[in-house]
Amino acid sequence: MSLQGPMIVVAEKPAAGVVDALRSAGAFPIIEANWAEAPTAFVAVKPSAVVIAEPGPAADEENARMLSRQIVTAAGPVVPAIARVTGSQEAAIPIALPNDAALPLDHLIIRLRSALRVRALHETVLRRIETFSSRGGAMPELPVGDALDDATVMIAGRGPLYPALSVAIGERFGMVGALSVESAARQLGMRDIDGIVIGDGFSQRMVEAFLTVLAQEPKYRDIPAAVLGEVPPDFTQWLPNVDHVERDPARVVARMVPLVRLHAFEARLKRMLKTLDAGGMFDAETGLLTRDGFFHDLAQAVSDSSKRGTALSVACFCFESAAHRRYEIAGARLLARLIRDIDFGCRDDDGSFLVAFTQATLSDAHAVTRRIAGAIRNAIGEATGAPAAAANVTLATLKAADSAESLMARVRTGRVVAAE
């Protein structure tokens, strides 16, 4: 990712080392400012990123707060901020991505490039939205609010600190747990994970094996990972958002919040890009079809199946423990991953999930829905702390005289499928 574009480096004293590292990496132009000058420089320059070069608290708290507000409210694509930190210190501004000052400056560059990729993605989405609107398309709903509201963090570990970490993480993010490296790898494949805490109870070899899994798969490399043990130096070159953290749950959460927020925002942008590319048919929050898109596809699927004599089944999934919006969204996203490419689904107005299984008889759909319901209810149960979410699934299959409306009427009162 190119570092071209205005960049502000904030420091009370000349930060020659940071500036030289940025310049060597291709950053241009670089504007140096102290805390008193930083807000004015931000308005004048409209930077692509802000780097806070000196660890520790800001020399001018009022201007630091003003700079934070400017970064958050800036028009156009997101402006990433990175702050160097040492030990247990917080970043000079709370919205900044922390970067350990003890690491080589190369790691700051790697983290900055990762953040700028999110900015480039945001710029692309904004451009596509403008193009979409200019062509008269029905504008899909943009996700609003803090991206942390629907972020999920995984805790991988089984040591004595695990309960305290679970409480601290669960209070701030959606949470899933993994007691082994194998379980953690499975969760990565099944869920939208926005951050990982690798806790105690794993040997160094196991930690390295898990980090290797992250490093080898491009879609996992940018996930923020907080490691309570030592991080081998090589991994800081491969994984831009991996950090060694202290064994203090509150500190772990504080360090992770800005990184998890940015990753969750990136995931939100990718879903928005998908729905724009599909003409607004996908829900940008869940990755499933919009409700209107689902019923449009269902009507066509019923017509096609009736003409060709092929099977079609529809299921309705209700999970009582998913009443909280966060868990409802997480369940819908998991459903989007679990259904086949030839099937389609949506989140209904009452929070239930509707899925149409093409080329599936009632017995075929019965087996599939049991597996899907079991996976979702267990995932929601883990996140809420309940043994398992109460699941209610009804099924209906297409009959000769059915329309989309009559099929949906039957699925509302149809056969109940017990989830494993």
Q: With contact defined as beta carbons under 8 Å apart, do 112 and 24 qualify?
A: no
What are the backbone dihedrals phi and psi of residue 237, each rounded to the nearest 5 degrees, phi first?
-85, -30
Query: Residue 111: is its pLDDT beyond 90?
Result: yes
Q: Which of 62, 24, 67 has the alpha carbon at shortest distance from 49?
A: 67
Q: Do 83 and 157 belong to one domain?
A: no
Same domain, 77 and 170: no
Q: In whole angstroms, what is the distance from residue 354 CA to residue 314 CA?
A: 7
Whether residue 53 contacts residue 24, with contact meaning beta carbons closer than 8 Å, is answered with: no
**One domain for residues 77 and 199:** no
CATH number where 228 lies: 3.40.50.2300
Question: pLDDT band at 414, cuts 50/70/90?
Answer: low
The CATH number of whichever domain residue 307 belongs to comes to 3.30.70.270
Do 153 and 178 contact (CB within 8 A), yes or no?
Answer: no
Residues 284-317 pLDDT 10s: 888 899 998 899 999 999 999 999 889 999 999 9
How much is the pLDDT for 20?
A: 96
| Whether the model pTM is above 0.85 | no
Does a structural domain hold residue 212?
Answer: yes
Q: Hey, which bits of 24-147 come out as E strands?
A: 28-33, 49-52, 81-85, 97-100
Examine the domain organization and report whether 90 and 195 are in the same domain: no
In the chain, how many domains are there? 3
Instruction: Give per-residue pLDDT as tens, 251-270.
Output: 899 999 999 999 999 999 99
Q: Is the pLDDT of residue 419 over 60?
A: no
- On whether residue 194 sits in a domain, the answer given is yes
Residue 54 lies inside a defined structural domain of this protein = yes
Rounded to whole angstroms, the Cα distance separating 313 from 317 reads 13
Residues 291, 240 share a domain: no
Q: Which domain holds residue 331?
A: 286-417
Q: Which of 228, 261, 294 is the last residue of a domain?
A: 261
22 and 124 co-located in one domain: yes
- 58 and 179 fall within a common domain: no
In the predicted structure, residue 384 carries a pLDDT above the cut 60: no
In a domain, 269, yes or no: no
Rounded Cα gap, residues 79 and 22, in angstroms: 17
pLDDT of residue 420: 42
The domain boundary, picked from 139, 174, 189, lies at: 139
Q: Distance (Å, rounded) from C-alpha 250 to C-alpha 256?
A: 10
